[in-house]
Amino acid sequence: MRNIVARWFTGKKCVNCGQSFGEISWAGSPPALLGADKKSVEWRQVPADRIFEVMEASLPVCFACHTAITMVREHPELVIDRHRVRD
């Protein structure tokens, strides 16, 4: 499964920040997937029998962006949006 995922990330960039994916660090900070619902998921959350289906419907996200997206979704009260237009 790791080989399939690693090949899928080859030559891709994070859809959020534009960072290129190099060698994948499976133990420390693996990349994630951004679904059409704008939720990012870790690879270990994807059932092996659905991997190709999920890859086809998702965009690549680096670990840092996945962490930020998850934080905003799960704890919006703790996030400050510095890009927000002030009144």
pLDDT for the residue numbered 66: 94
Work out the number of other CB atoms within 10 angstroms of the CB of residue 67.
14
DSSP string, the chain: -HHHHHHHHTT-B-TTT-PBP-S--TTT---EEE-TTS-EEEGGGS-GGGHHHHHHT-EEE-HHHHHHHHHHHH-GGG---TTSPP-
- pTM assigned to the model: 0.81
Q: Which of the four pLDDT bands, split at 50, 70 and 90, describes residue 1?
A: confident
Q: pLDDT digit string (tens) for 49-68?
A: 999 999 999 999 999 999 99
Q: Which of the four pLDDT bands, split at 50, 70 and 90, describes residue 85?
A: low
- In degrees and rounded to multiples of 5, residue 67 shows phi and psi of -60, -45
Q: pLDDT digit string (tens) for 22-50?
A: 888 888 889 999 998 889 999 889 999 99
